[in-house]
Amino acid sequence: MAELIGYILTLDAIFTWGIASLVYKFGMGKTEPKANLLFRMVCVSVGTFIFALIFSTFSFLSKMNSEELTIYLFWCLISGLSVTLGDLMYFFSLRKIDASRAYPLTQLSLVFVYPFAFIFFGENISISVILGGVFILSSVFILSSKDKFKGGEFENHSDKPPEELLIGVLLAIGTALFWAIAIVAFHQARILSEDVFATNFFRIILATLLLAFFGIFKQEYYSGFKKEYKYKRKYLLYVGLAGALSLGFADSLFYMAAEINGLVLTSTITANTPMAQQIFSILLLKEKFRKRFFIAVAFIIIGNYIILFL
């Protein structure tokens, strides 16, 4: 029964992440990444605080001595900084390549999570999980591969030159690395606190405060709050609300699932998120439908079958 609850929580996280990625893409088409980041983090801070008040008690803080509290806050800070840097790179990636390419590449975080989970938590990585992960990651490469170049033009005329695509791809891979670090650091903090929602709040508020301080010297991070940006405020709000649901709620569900089913298995299953995001991109953003989508679906079905039933 516990494993089933873990799977349900993971599916909820996948659905929310997929939807949020589309809102990010829509918002990034109207705003600048740096203007988005601090505004979004403030929204997420408020959201995570509300979720923590509802689902947590913060009682674990009184049980920690000064050394334990310092270590706990350190891991919260590392997780918050890593996810923030990863998000910024993802926003820049969305300026270079479309969401149906950028988001699948971020799932390469799985490649980094495997060794991290083994080294830091001693989690066993079964052959079935590795093999299933290979199939799922193969589908990621299929989904994110660029269209063919014919007659001096791209099949999809909205595609940008090869050098722009390369920068977008590299930024998405960088996102994957930082997100993996954020996952592992959060898992460390969660083990110490045994509380997901409060830990999520602490990591987000610490990252927000540090970003706000850094923004004193880089005023573009405050531009989303300035009067001259008022006409774009609604797009910032869309991204902020999506961030609150994604970072504030879906991430918490993911870590609750990881507590039940383990970090390796849960991370492997969430590598299916690009499939949900791909469907939403085609239906809602009207992005190009590619025939290789069916091949990717087949690989994902095979990968999940291997993980769950072998």
Does residue 129 contact residue 162 with C-beta atoms inside 8 Å?
no
Q: What is the DSSP string of 256-275?
A: HHHHHH-HHHHHHHHTTHHH
Q: What is the DSSP string of 138-203?
A: HHHHHHHPPPPEETTEESSTTPPPHHHHHHHHHHHHHHHHHHHHHHHHHHHHHHHH--HHHHHHHH
The pLDDT value recorded for residue 303 is 78
Q: Closest by alpha carbon to 274, among 133, 106, 72, 131?
A: 106
CB atoms within 10 A of CB 212: 14
The pLDDT value recorded for residue 54 is 92
Does residue 182 contact residue 82 with C-beta atoms inside 8 Å?
yes
The dihedrals phi and psi of 33, each to the nearest 5 degrees, come to -55, -45
Q: Which two tokens stand for residue 282?
A: 């085609």
Taking CA atoms, 63 is separated from 48, 139, 198, in Å, by: 22, 45, 14
Q: Is 168 exposed, middle or buried (0-12, 13-18, 19+ CB in 10 A)?
A: buried
The pLDDT value recorded for residue 160 is 61
Residue with token string 């050394």: 67
Q: Closest by alpha carbon to 195, among 77, 9, 51?
A: 51
Give the separation between CA 52 and CA 25, rounded to whole angstroms.
28
- pLDDT tens, per residue, the chain with 310 residues: 557 788 888 888 888 888 887 888 788 778 888 888 889 999 999 999 999 999 988 999 999 999 999 999 999 999 999 999 998 898 888 878 776 677 777 877 877 888 878 777 777 777 887 888 788 778 767 766 665 545 444 444 445 666 777 888 889 889 989 998 998 899 899 989 989 999 999 999 999 999 999 888 888 888 888 887 778 888 888 889 998 988 888 999 998 898 888 888 888 888 777 777 777 777 776 666 667 777 777 777 787 778 766 6
Question: Can you give the residue range of the structural domain that contains 161?
Answer: 2-309
Q: Is 239 exposed, middle or buried (0-12, 13-18, 19+ CB in 10 A)?
A: buried
What are the tens digits of pLDDT across the range 100-128? Answer: 677 777 877 877 888 878 777 777 777 88
The pLDDT value recorded for residue 21 is 79
Q: What is the DSSP string of 85-132?
A: HHHHHHHHHHHHS-HHHHHHHHTTHHHHHHHHHHHHH-----HHHHHH
The pLDDT value recorded for residue 143 is 65
What are the tens digits of pLDDT across the range 240-285? Answer: 999 898 888 899 999 889 888 888 888 888 877 777 777 777 777 6
The domain total for the chain is 1
Helix H or strand E encompassing 242:
helix 233-243
Q: Which two tokens stand for residue 17?
A: 């992440």
Helix H or strand E encompassing 210:
helix 196-215
